[in-house]
Every structure is written in C-alpha cells, then in structure tokens.
Structure 1
Amino acid sequence: MRTLARLSAVGASTAILATALMTPAQAAGTSWAACPAGSGVDPRQECATLQVPMDYRKPGGPTISLAVSRIKTAKPASRRGVLLLIPGGPGSPGLNRPSVQVKKLPQDVLDRYDIIGFDPRGVGQSSPVSCDLATGDLSVTKLKPYPDADGGIADNLAWSRRIAEACARNGGPLIRHISTRNEARDIDSIRQALGEKKISYWGVSYGTYAGAVYATMFPQRTDRVILDSNDDPDPRRVARRWLANYTVGVEDRFPDFAAWAATRDGEYGLGTDPAQVRRTFLDLAAELDRNPLPWPGANPEELNGNLLRETMLNALYSDANFPMLATLMHAALTAGELPPSNTPPAAAMQNTAATAGATMCNDVEWPGSTSGYERQVANSRSAHPLTAGMPVNAGPCQFWPFKPAEPPVRVTSRGPANVLLIQNLRDPSTPYSGALKMRQAFGQRARMVAVDSGGHGVYLANGNACGDRTVTSFLTTGNLPTRDERC
C-alpha cells in the first residue's frame, strides 16, 4: 500500500508539472465562437477548442483537441467563477450540457457562475477515438456482458477478445491515453485556459469518480464540488466494482417499478402485488431466453431475455420510463405488437464504446482467469436473477493488450472541506451502498445528502425540494451542511 501511495504522489506531481507547462499566453489565447447549430443548443452557448497533451508525461509531444463550451452569467457583478459539468459514462459527451442545465439551474446559481461543458478526450467534438467495431458487436447486450441463456460465457469471452484486438488495431495512439487520471488533467487544463485559480464542478455518475480523482490530484484547485449519484472509488477494482454494483442497485430499485405496476394491473396485467410483478418479469425473461420475439430496429433485432433485462435496467433510471417497460412486457405477454425500439444507432455507439472500454481497462488491471468469471457469473445468477450474472462477467479488459500506465487514484480526506455528495437511496446504477464508500473515502472533506427517492441522477432531477435546496445553498454560499443529511 505504501508503494501505491508513492506512485500516486508521483502521478499527481507529473500532472501538476504538465499543466504548468501550458503558458499564460496559451491559456489567454482561447477563442470563443458560436457553437454549431443543433437541436436544443442555447443561442448563448459559445464553443472553443483547446490543445492539450495526448500524454501528459510528454508535454512537448503530440497534442489532442478538447471541445469546450460555456454560457456566461448574465450578471457579471455577481460572478464567482465557473461551474464545470462533468459528464457520466465513461464515454458520454458533455459539450451541450450547458444548454440543457441552464433551463433547470436556479437563477441564483446562474448569476454566480459561467456554466462550462466539454466533450472528454475521445468523445464527440474532441479528438475522437474508435475501435471500428462491427454493428453486431455494438449490441447493448454485448456492451453490457450478459451471459448466454444457460449462463455460459464462451460467447462473452470471444466477443471480449475480439473487441480488445479491434481497439489495439484501430484505436490509434490515443486509445492508450484515455483514463480517469488524464480526464482529471484535462479538467485542470480547462481550468487554466479559463483563467481560473480554482474550479467548481458538478459531476454526475462516472463524473463523480472523475471529479473525486480531480479533487484528490488537485485539491487546492477545487472551489465547490458537487458529486451526484456516486461511484464506489475502490482503488483495487474501480470499474469492476461499478459493474458489480448493478446487482445491488437493480435489487434496490426494482421494487419501485413493481409497486407502480401492481397498482396498474388492470392496464398492464403484470400482477396485483410487487412480488407477483417480479415473478412475471423473471418468468417472461426466461421465456424470451428460450423463444425470442422479432423486434425490428433493435440491436439485436429480437426481444430476447437479455434485451428485456437491459431494457429493464435502463427503465429503472427514471420513473418516467416505467410505462415504457410495462408496455413492452404487456405486449410480449399477450403476443401484441412490440413498441418501437429506442436502441441508439450503432454508429453513435462507436465513440462511447471505445472511450468507455479504454477508460475501464486503462484505469486498472482486470483478472484474467476464465474459471473465476464462470464461478462469479454462476453465483450471481443464483443470488441476483434480475441481472442474470451480467455485472460480474468477463469483458474486453481481460484481454486488453496495454498495461495501465499509472495506478488508480486512492481518494482521501486530504484537502479542503468543500465536497457535497448527493445520492438517491434507490439508484439502479450507482447504489447507495457504493456512495457510502465515496463518502468514507473523503472523510471530513465531504458531507452527504441522501434522498429518499429512486432513479439515477438527483440534483434537479426528481423533484426532491430538500435535496435541491441543499445543493443550491452550497453552490451559492459555500456552506457545507454541518452533518450528513437525509431528505
């Protein structure tokens, strides 16, 4: 553990050196212009492109582009600084998030901050990366590694090896330099280019881990930090832990859907009580394992048991999705016409798949034992049938050809007390139990607001006035709650 701590310190020092080598003239030269017109882009949103090192250990070497956006405060006299929006994923774009969030953020926050967005390295309008995967390999039931209907993982292993080889062959040099440590360094480059001594930010989902890594590597450069829907920062497992936590999160959250559907049995016919709805789901998934239904437009183009499970997982992110899942289940049960699939186009998944895979594999080494994955999947299928072994299955990192360049960051309590965690109690993706590990890691640097709600995303996302008020108060006053709170 001491060796890991020393290496972490070396990595942080390297980052500070690299960002220091960006001269003030480079930072001051940032040129803002109107963003490309697009659906939902606020006319006030401006865009710029920054050049940052591809490899921060070689600041004089090749550079990549980072696409950055902002919506400036309309009240410069009240301005405190910037509020950076760190997207989730890993692999999600964030350039147009300011246009989304200015419609939701309270005026007191908009008065105090320029709202900043960015596409992380490898994604969107930043220097992109792609593994050039075949359409079939971008199926949502492969990108999340669901085992075969009988629990076998041979197909997962073949897919995983194929993806790792494709990324090594097609990903170019950038694929080796996509990691959470480098995202934190990119964030610090954005801070410097904006001319800010300190930066406030709001990270959601994977953005909480990226934000926690930044707060650990650059603690004195943080102002007010909001981490929303928190990942477990376990430095031994990192993304392996995030995937495994789906078993917990789905079990925490599914009862909300089951109770909702039970009160609407006359409409959907899924059961008159939550236990019956759960049994209906499990029986339907098993039947679709044996006899899939054609589902044009989906990927794969059939509703099999795993695609139902993946649709369920996504539906649990928001109560607003419950009718979609119930309608799909009702149609499958009654031989009715299936609703249109909302599967993203394969082309749109290339950036996300490559960036997510690279981040997960470059952050930490993964075990290589096939027999170990087989045992984990079998045990998980028995204990957590809703997710059918997916969260602990093998993936491309088992065969990733590159070793992590640096050890994972160990989040600690060293730094200013300026971190507010906000967390739903029933989050299907980043469960409360994992968020408590983030809270523990930060120690007295942080406070947590736990919200008695379900779904993924908390601040301004589910109508909890108590939680929203606490976050807004922190952003506008800087005062952390005196103790952890429950809303």
Structure 2
Amino acid sequence: MKRQRSAGQSLAVLVVLGLGGSLATVPAAAEEPRTPQVEWGRCPDDVVAEAAPTELRCATVPVPLDYADPEGEQIDLTVSRLAAADPDKRRGVLMLNPGGPGGSGLTLSALLVAQGLPGSVTDRYDLIGMDTRGVGHSTPVSCGFTQDSPYYANIPPYAVDDAAVTAQAQVAEQAAGQCAGNDPDGRLRHLTTANTARDLDRIRAALGEERTSYLGYSYGTALGAAYASMFPERADRIVLDSNIGDTHLDRDGMRRYALGMEQTLPDFAEWAARRHDSYGLGRTPRQVRASYLTIAGRLDDAPVAGIDGSLFRLLTFGHLFKQAQYPTLAQTWQALHDGDTAAARGLATAREETADGALSPNDNALTVFLSVTCNDVEWPEDVTTYRRGVAEDRERYPLFGAATANITPCAFWPYAPAEAPVEVDAEGPRNVLLLQNRRDASTPHRGGKMLREKFGDRARLVSVDDSGHGVYVLGDNSCALNTATRYLVEGEMPAEDVFCRAD
C-alpha cells in the first residue's frame, strides 16, 4: 500500500493560511534604495543537474519574513537566471512560476527551453526562476510529513460515504496540529500569496528593473494576478496560463477540480474507445466512463495491489493532465479492470523505480501548499459543511466530486488570515493575457472566464479547443503559442478574446 500510495502523493502535489499587522501597515512596493543588488554565482548541485544541459546562474535575495515588520527577521529567496541570448534585443526580465503553491521554479526556464520556448523570447528576456518563500532552497518550511503520514496529498481522499468525511476530519485536524507543532518560530503564518507578490517586487528591485514581465502556470496565475493588482505600475507583460480564477485557492476553487475532471475525462474516454481491442475498456466513450465507475466501485470494496478506490480516482485525475500519460493510465485501468494483481503491482513499482525517488512524499511542497492555501482565505470550520458538500458533489460530479469537496486541514488551521485576499484590480494597463484550455482537469475553463471578468478590459482570454494542463509551450497549439509569443515579444495584445481551434 505504501509504495502505490506514494505515486498518488506525487500526482496530487504536482497537480492542484492572529498576526499583529494589518493590511494598512504592510508596505506595498519595495523600497528601491534599500534593496541589495544580486550577485550571481553557481546554482545548487541539484538545480545544476536538473537544468542540464541548460546552464543557469543563481543568487539569493533577502526579504522580510513579515512585511508588517520590514526591519525584523529576514529570509533568503533563491532565484535563478537564464540571461537573454541577444543583449542587443534584451527588453527586461520575465519572472516564472510553475504553480503549486509549493512548486520549485528554479529550473522552469530550462524546462521551457527544452519544451521549445521560442528563441525570440529567450533573446529578449532574462528568464528568472525562483523558489518562492518557504520552498526548496528559499528558507524551507516543514510540517514533518513522512511516508507513513495519513495526510499525503493536497487533494482529500474520495469519501465513499458520510462516515468517510468524519474520518477524514480526524486526519485533517491531526495534520493541522502537526504543522503548528513543527512551527516554533511562527514562520508558516507568513506564507501567503500577498507576501509572495511582495517578494516578487523585492526581486524586481534587486535586479535593478523598473518593471517586470511574468509567466505563471496554474497557482502561478493567482500569484501573477495578485502582483498585477498590487503593483500595476511595476507589471509589464503578464501571461497567466491555466487559471484558477482568482488570487487565491479557496474551497470553491478546489471543488472546481471535480468539474475539470468531468470535462476532461471524455477526451481520455474517446481515446481509449478507439483502442478498445488493445485495452478492453469499452467501445464507446460512455462504456469507458462506465468502466471507470465499475473499477472504482470494486476497489472501494476490495483494493488491488494496494490501490483502493480513492487512490484510483486520484491516479486518474493526475494522468488527465497530459495526453502523453493516456497509455499509462489505460494500462493501469486494464490491469485493475481485469483483476490482474501482479500487473497492477508491477506497473506501480515500475513507475516508482523509474522516477528515481520523485514519487516519494514531498513534505516541503505539502507544507507550503497548506500554509498558503489556508492563510490566504477563511475556510469553513464546521465538519457538517463538508459532509453536505460531499453529498452534493457526489451527485453533481460523480467522477471526483466526493474528493475535492472533502474536508482539508484548512478547517483546523491554527492561524487566521492576517489580511483579506488580494482583490483583482480592473484599473490599470491592458497587460494581462490569459491562456486556457477548454478542458483541463485541475483548472477548468471556468477559471479563465472568471479571471477575465474580474480584470475587465485589462485582460484578454485565449481559449484553446484542447485538453490538458498548461497551454504556452507546454501544450501543442500553434494559435495559442503564436498569440502569447507575439505579446511577449512585440507587446501585441489581441483586440478581443481569442478562440484557438485544435491543431
């Protein structure tokens, strides 16, 4: 059970928080004269290895732990740079964020280059990656989660019945208490989207730039929306890809994961139906969907190779992020559908061994996810609220709704939000380009529409008739790629919202 569960842990993490200071006392912009300049040097060894063959340079930027006390304790943020390839064409810096919250972004520039980031972009921008506050090489935080911890994923387990919600409440309360017990210095309460946006402005100033451009994916869209709203005069060209719909992830946002799965599974079902003779999951998309529900129900009653119904649903959700993962998902379904315990165990073991440890629980990522998510906004504290939501979403979104509506540690989080969530500011330059696939398991199209409405005329929405998580460079749509590249390189913002047909 432990080995198979770790695969689900990795998928969940990669997929989808009483302070004395008030918002009025927190400085918004960095104070330019007091910000030290960056000294670039060798990156940490793990960053060098992961970025290879791309060579990055790294540096640290000190920022206040508590912006209400800017002269108090400082923490270090580690940033990376891939310098503009053509100094004569250079126009500034492009900050990058891969999502999370809790994802390391130090090597994101190298990943994007490997995936085909156009040379016209790398010619003009220094690509600035970073580990945001609390993450990885940036004064990391820890709740002490381990392989054996009952809390192992940032998405709650699927609740098969009402009693399962009550049982999960005990796990969630224990996880929140564990975070409090491992936080003697009170650092976790300062991990918020607003503070991270303030960090971005400190980094901008440390780099000696008057303005910064930004490219963020998934939760990175919330951070980018917060930055563009808090520092409109500092924000240059902003690209937000796979949007969660606001400047923070709240309970409604997490419940939209279930909507995303309902909208995205049909793409896999159609793919699998065309390959029925190979995988035997159904000759029509409807039959494939029925196979999913059948397998999940069987595993609820009798797990196979340590995979129960909850983990099966989580594995399916994670594999819907990219079409390249469909064959692996189909193999897993086939083994579980046929009751082939040896094949199911072999597939899970092979995935873990070939990942070279990447499927182990990531305490740091889970800690940051919880801290930022719980600190950003108030979550309901009454278990009955979650029991009711699970019952509603089990009917409304039968594929995954009873997971994403389930109770999280935020219901028991020891710290109250220090300030209200950042409001999206519709007043400002028209400089926000939103990219969104029509079908995305973790950030459904509704998130892009929501942020488009909140930004008003400041933004334009590019909707792509495609499936998966990630559009620019990470996807494979020429219309979306060209639209975003023209904006980053030439500053050409579409006059109206754009619909990109599938290639």
1:34 aligned to which of 38, 42, 58 = 42
In the TM superposition, residue 404 of structure 1 has moved relative to its aligned partner by 0.5
In the TM superposition, residue 14 of structure 1 has moved relative to its aligned partner by 2.5
CA distance in 1, matches of 2:27, 2:91: 26
Alignment correspondent of 1:225: 238
In the TM superposition, residue 45 of structure 1 has moved relative to its aligned partner by 0.6
What is the TM-score normalised by the length of structure 1?
A: 0.92
- Asked if 1 retains the 8 angstrom alpha-carbon contact of 2:151 and 2:175, the reply is no
In the TM superposition, residue 74 of structure 1 has moved relative to its aligned partner by 1.9
Alignment of 1:380 onto 2:393: yes
Alignment of 1:265 onto 2:273: no
3-state SS, counterpart of residue 362 of structure 2: helix
Alignment correspondent of 1:251: 262
In the TM superposition, residue 149 of structure 1 has moved relative to its aligned partner by 3.1
Alignment correspondent of 2:250: 239
- Asked if 2 retains the 8 angstrom alpha-carbon contact of 1:93 and 1:123, the reply is yes
Alignment correspondent of 2:335: 331
The worse-fitting range, judged by mean Cα deviation, of 339-348 and 362-371 is: 339-348
Alignment correspondent of 1:132: 144
1:365 aligned to which of 363, 371, 378 = 378
- 1:420-459 equivalences under 5 Å are 420-459=433-472
CA offset digits 1:278-300 (Å, max 9, x no partner): 00000100000000012xxxxxx
Alignment correspondent of 2:157: 146
Alignment correspondent of 1:297: none
In the TM superposition, residue 305 of structure 1 has moved relative to its aligned partner by 0.5
Q: Percent identical across equivalent pairs?
A: 41
Alignment of 1:177 onto 2:185: no
Alignment correspondent of 2:4: none
- Asked if 2 retains the 8 angstrom alpha-carbon contact of 1:49 and 1:66, the reply is yes
Alignment correspondent of 2:126: 114
CA offset digits 1:61-86 (Å, max 9, x no partner): 00111010001012101000011111
CA distance in 2, matches of 1:121, 1:177: 9
- Asked if 2 retains the 8 angstrom alpha-carbon contact of 1:85 and 1:97, the reply is yes
CA distance in 1, matches of 2:427, 2:477: 31
Q: 1:167 to 1:161 in 2, by over 3 A?
A: same
Q: 1:95 to 1:223 in 2, by over 3 A?
A: same
Q: 1:268 to 1:367 in 2, by over 3 A?
A: same
CA distance in 2, matches of 1:287, 1:253: 23
Alignment correspondent of 1:4: none
1:156 aligned to which of 168, 175, 183 = 168
Report the residue type matching 1:332 in the other structure: L
Alignment of 1:305 onto 2:309: yes
What is the TM-score normalised by the length of structure 2?
A: 0.89
Alignment correspondent of 1:11: 23
1:315 aligned to which of 312, 319, 342 = 319
Name the Cα RMSD after superposition: 1.7
CA distance in 2, matches of 1:257, 1:371: 35
Asked which structure has the greater RCO (Cα within 8 Å, sep 6+), the reply is 2
CA distance in 2, matches of 1:412, 1:252: 30
- Asked if 1 retains the 8 angstrom alpha-carbon contact of 2:247 and 2:422, the reply is no
Report the residue type matching 1:334 in the other structure: D
CA distance in 1, matches of 2:25, 2:459: 24
CA distance in 2, matches of 1:458, 1:13: 38
In the TM superposition, residue 100 of structure 1 has moved relative to its aligned partner by 1.3
Alignment of 1:398 onto 2:411: yes
Report the residue type matching 1:89 in the other structure: G
- Asked if 1 retains the 8 angstrom alpha-carbon contact of 2:223 and 2:247, the reply is no
Alignment correspondent of 1:340: 348
CA distance in 1, matches of 2:433, 2:395: 37
3-state SS, counterpart of residue 208 of structure 1: helix
In the TM superposition, residue 137 of structure 1 has moved relative to its aligned partner by 2.5
CA distance in 1, matches of 2:151, 2:291: 25
Report the residue type matching 2:288 in the other structure: V
In the TM superposition, residue 12 of structure 1 has moved relative to its aligned partner by 7.5
- Asked if 2 retains the 8 angstrom alpha-carbon contact of 1:146 and 1:388, the reply is no
CA offset digits 1:298-317 (Å, max 9, x no partner): xxxx1111111001101110
Alignment correspondent of 1:389: 402
Q: 1:16 to 1:139 in 2, by over 3 A?
A: closer
3-state SS, counterpart of residue 245 of structure 1: helix
In the TM superposition, residue 322 of structure 1 has moved relative to its aligned partner by 0.6
Q: 1:38 to 1:348 in 2, by over 3 A?
A: farther
3-state SS, counterpart of residue 247 of structure 1: helix
Report the residue type matching 1:120 in the other structure: T
In the TM superposition, residue 218 of structure 1 has moved relative to its aligned partner by 0.4
Report the residue type matching 2:33 in the other structure: T
3-state SS, counterpart of residue 464 of structure 2: strand
CA offset digits 1:356-383 (Å, max 9, x no partner): 0000110011111111111110111122
- Asked if 2 retains the 8 angstrom alpha-carbon contact of 1:362 and 1:404, the reply is yes
2:68 aligned to which of 42, 48, 57 = 57
CA distance in 1, matches of 2:83, 2:402: 46
Alignment correspondent of 1:98: 109
CA offset digits 1:2-56 (Å, max 9, x no partner): xxxxxxxx73873325x21x635x432x210122331333453100011110001
- Asked if 1 retains the 8 angstrom alpha-carbon contact of 2:304 and 2:339, the reply is no
- Asked if 1 retains the 8 angstrom alpha-carbon contact of 2:221 and 2:247, the reply is no
3-state SS, counterpart of residue 214 of structure 2: strand
CA distance in 2, matches of 1:377, 1:95: 37
Instruction: List gaps (5 residues or longer) in structure 2.
Output: 1-21
Q: 1:431 to 1:43 in 2, by over 3 A?
A: closer
2:92 aligned to which of 64, 74, 81 = 81
Q: How many residues align?
A: 464
Report the residue type matching 2:373 in the other structure: M
Alignment correspondent of 2:6: none
- Asked if 2 retains the 8 angstrom alpha-carbon contact of 1:12 and 1:217, the reply is no
Alignment correspondent of 2:19: none
